[in-house]
Amino acid sequence: MLIQTDIVIIGSGFGGSLLSLLLNRLGFRCVLVDRASHPRFAIGESSTPAANLILRQLAWKYDLPRLAPLARFGTWQATYPHLTCGLKRGFSYFKHHRGEVFLPREDHANELLVAASSQDAVADTHWLRSDVDQFLVEDAQNAGAIYFDHTELSVDGRDPWLLTGQRWGETLQLEAGMLVDASGEAGFLRKHLRLEGREGELRTNSRSLFAHFHDVSSWHAWLSERGARVNDHPFCCDHAALHQVLDEGWMWQLRFQNGVTSVGIALDAARCPPYPGQTPLEEWKWWLGQYPSLKEPLEKAVVVRPSTGLHRTGRIQRWTSPAAGLDWVLLPNTAGFIDPLHSTGIAHTLSGVERLAGILAQHREGDSLHRALADYSDAIHHEIAFIDRLVSACYRSLHEFPLFVGAGMMYFAAATNYERRRRMEPGKPPSAFLGADDPEVLRAIAAVESSLDRALASDCLPHDLEQFQASLRDALNPLDHVGLFRAEIPHMHAHTALDDVVTQQAAGGT
Ligand SMILES: Cc1cc2nc3c(=O)[nH]c(=O)nc-3n(C[C@H](O)[C@H](O)[C@H](O)COP(=O)(O)OP(=O)(O)OC[C@H]3O[C@@H](n4cnc5c(N)ncnc54)[C@H](O)[C@@H]3O)c2cc1C
């Protein structure tokens, strides 16, 4: 079978499927191809206010009303109760020290909670990717995209692209002017075009172990039983991207409504290479043994997905540059990935899909298309480098929680500043994700990095920490529109949600 089409998209994760939905609206003929089939396990589940803002704006701009309910917990539950998600009110962090039981403190010095929404109805979500990705690929098909699963393609020619694959014993041939690579970690075009890998230039070096589990007990309950002041928490710490901060990395826990919890450990790979001969499960148990307060809530937990059991990665970082050529484009997660910390992946993918659809809507061919794709490639390059800076600063600070919190504030300042700009000018999204090309943002981040370097180089004595915190406030002040340094209860950020800030401002508050 030979199909001539405008665009072939390799990979039907939510990125590829959503792009094909938008391109279909723009009048392009699209063929979407995946080597696997839905529903299938996928990692990368915790969304953010930026992700949901982009999703809502895409639903509105491209008249895709079925997308909009996915952008808020309340509308998701009401409209698609059969699609599994989890409630995410914000980010919660608890600092553990190796070999020690976590001791809740009156002053919350070893905790940090940052609200991303003011109530459950408008909260973010954790996406059960097997459900969400299947939903989107079906919507893409219903809208007219041709979809082939179980198909692995090879490249037979270019200009136009000639691609051949086998599906259930039949030969499939595709001819297209443009190829979009949404294959993520698999890096279809990186292999076929022998594109340069630049991971060697990245500062972050982490690896991970993860799975979906049943019977992960509540961390909120664990804290309550030990007399922690959970009433000071602006939201239940389980209804969040829960981070257990370790000395060598961190653990995430993302709870879904169906009793399943996504749990993973991300480790500083330079300091903690895998022990030769140790299986992923043995390593998992070993780490739990090092952190007694993590072991208890996970004591009865059973792996339910992936079917192959607990998954262990090598180094997670990847970076391919350039991210576009004359007749090909990589989606953000195919061009690169840094780390699950800060949950940037979904939002970054959505921002790339948004930008690419905008480019293809405006520039159908010729020089202007090539220039726009070169700008896309530059933007993705800056964004990956920027996320690397935000994440690596946190990894460097893992052992000293006040520094980790300060490094985390760089992300919250950049993210809330980006969300605010998007809300203020919904028709004109910022040119780079998180403001990665904005001189004011870059200046602020560089200033925090310098003071972090100084604090790390000293012995982190109280005086050094005070100096660090003062310079952090000064540096991030121009980006901070949500009161990151004005929490009524230290480390408990109740009013950092932009929906809350916008409501207060509309009512004449500060
Ligand atoms: C450990 C870990 C944790 C993460 N946690 C988060 C998080 O909490 N929040 C967040 O926002 N992001 C997170 N991410 C990032 C997130 O996973 C990605 O941003 C997201 O999956 C991107 O979606 P996508 O559709 O672009 O690609 P993918 O989900 O990677 O989909 C790629 C698709 O391509 C298909 N494919 C691969 N090769 C081929 C081929 N040769 N031919 C055809 N099809 C092919 C695959 O089968 C798959 O369906 C995490 C990533 C990792 C590694």
Taking only the tens place, the pLDDT of each residue in 452-469 is 999 999 877 778 889 999
Q: How far is the CA of 25 from the centre of ligand 1 (A)?
A: 24
Handedness of CA 453, 457, 462, 463 (dihedral sign): negative
3-state helix, strand, coil in the chain (%, to 5): 45, 20, 35
Give the pLDDT band of residue 496 (cuts 50, 70, 90): confident
pLDDT tens figures, 27-45: 999 999 999 999 999 999 9
Which single residue is written with the structure tokens 């409504």? Answer: 257
Tell me the longest C-alpha to C-alpha distance in the chain.
Answer: 72
CA angle 370, 372, 374 (to 5 degrees): 70
Q: Are 196 and 320 in contact, with CB atoms under 8 Å apart?
A: yes
Residue nearest to atom 12 of ligand 1 (CA): 345
Handedness of CA 68, 74, 78, 83 (dihedral sign): positive
Average pLDDT over residues 274-285: 96
Q: How far is the CA of 349 from the centre of ligand 1 (A)?
A: 9
Helix (H) or strand (E) holding 153: strand 152-157
**Cβ contacts of residue 428 below 8 Å, gap of 6+?**
none
Whether ligand 1 lies within 6 angstroms of the CB of 263 is answered as no
Structure tokens at 134: 């299947």
Angle between helices 439-457 and 366-396 (to 10 degrees): 20
CA-closest candidate to residue 239, choices 221, 225, 212, 213 = 221
Whether ligand 1 lies within 6 angstroms of the CB of 340 is answered as yes
Model pLDDT, residue 364: 81
Q: Are 462 and 470 in contact, with CB atoms under 8 Å apart?
A: no
Structure tokens at 480: 């901070």
Q: How far is the CA of 216 from the centre of ligand 1 (A)?
A: 24
Give the pLDDT band of residue 366 (cuts 50, 70, 90): confident
Percent of the chain at pLDDT > 90 equals 92
Task: For 88, list phi and psi in degrees, rounded to 5.
Answer: -125, 100
Residue nearest to atom 51 of ligand 1 (CA): 44
pLDDT tens figures, 214-270: 999 999 999 999 999 999 999 999 999 999 999 999 999 999 999 999 999 999 999
Q: Are 269 and 248 in contact, with CB atoms under 8 Å apart?
A: no
Model pLDDT, residue 376: 97
Residue nearest to atom 19 of ligand 1 (CA): 345
Whether ligand 1 lies within 6 angstroms of the CB of 206 is answered as no
Residue nearest to atom 37 of ligand 1 (CA): 183
Model pLDDT, residue 463: 83
What is the spatial distance between Cα 382 and Cα 372, in angstroms, rounded to a whole number?
15
Please give the mean pLDDT across all residues of the chain. Answer: 95
Ligand 1 atom closest to the CA of 15, numbered from 1: 25
Which of 12, 40, 43, 150 to probe ligand 1 with, by most ligand atoms within 8 A of CB? 43
Give the pLDDT band of residue 61 (cuts 50, 70, 90): very high
Whether ligand 1 lies within 6 angstroms of the CB of 391 is answered as no
Give the pLDDT band of residue 392 (cuts 50, 70, 90): very high
Query: Which amino acid makes up residue 481?
Result: H
Whether ligand 1 lies within 6 angstroms of the CB of 188 is answered as yes
Q: How far is the CA of 131 from the centre of ligand 1 (A)?
A: 14
Model pLDDT, residue 499: 67
How large is the C-alpha radius of gyration of the chain? 23
Q: How far is the CA of 48 from the centre of ligand 1 (A)?
A: 16
Ligand 1 atom closest to the CA of 18, numbered from 1: 25
Which of 18, 32, 45, 317 to probe ligand 1 with, by most ligand atoms within 8 A of CB? 45
Model pLDDT, residue 500: 53
Give the pLDDT band of residue 508 (cuts 50, 70, 90): very low
What is the spatial distance between Cα 222 and Cα 294, in angstroms, rounded to a whole number?
10
Q: How far is the CA of 283 from the centre of ligand 1 (A)?
A: 24
Ligand 1 atom closest to the CA of 316, numbered from 1: 53
pLDDT for residue 50 is more than 90: yes
Query: Which amino acid makes up residue 325?
Result: G
- Cα separation values, 300 from 212, 294, 303, 305, Å: 13, 12, 10, 16
Residue nearest to atom 13 of ligand 1 (CA): 44
Model pLDDT, residue 510: 32
Q: How far is the CA of 431 from the centre of ligand 1 (A)?
A: 23
Whether ligand 1 lies within 6 angstroms of the CB of 186 is answered as yes
Residue nearest to atom 29 of ligand 1 (CA): 13
Whether ligand 1 lies within 6 angstroms of the CB of 182 is answered as yes
Helix spans in 340-461 (H): 345-362, 366-396, 401-424, 439-457
User: How many other C-beta atoms can be found within 10 angstroms of the C-beta atom of residue 348?
Assistant: 29
pLDDT for residue 107 is more than 80: yes
Backbone dihedral region for residue 412 (phi beyond 0: left; psi -120 to 50: alpha; all else: beta): alpha
pLDDT for residue 359 is more than 90: yes
Residue nearest to atom 35 of ligand 1 (CA): 11
What is the spatial distance between Cα 171 and Cα 139, in angstroms, rounded to a whole number?
26
pLDDT tens figures, 159-169: 999 999 999 99
Give the pLDDT band of residue 509 (cuts 50, 70, 90): very low
Whether ligand 1 lies within 6 angstroms of the CB of 211 is answered as no
Model pLDDT, residue 291: 97
pLDDT for residue 141 is more than 80: yes
Q: Are 208 and 313 in contact, with CB atoms under 8 Å apart?
A: yes
Average pLDDT over residues 193-217: 97
Model pLDDT, residue 464: 84
Q: How far is the CA of 301 from the centre of ligand 1 (A)?
A: 25
CA angle 400, 401, 406 (to 5 degrees): 105
What is the spatial distance between Cα 63 and Cα 341, in angstroms, rounded to a whole number?
32
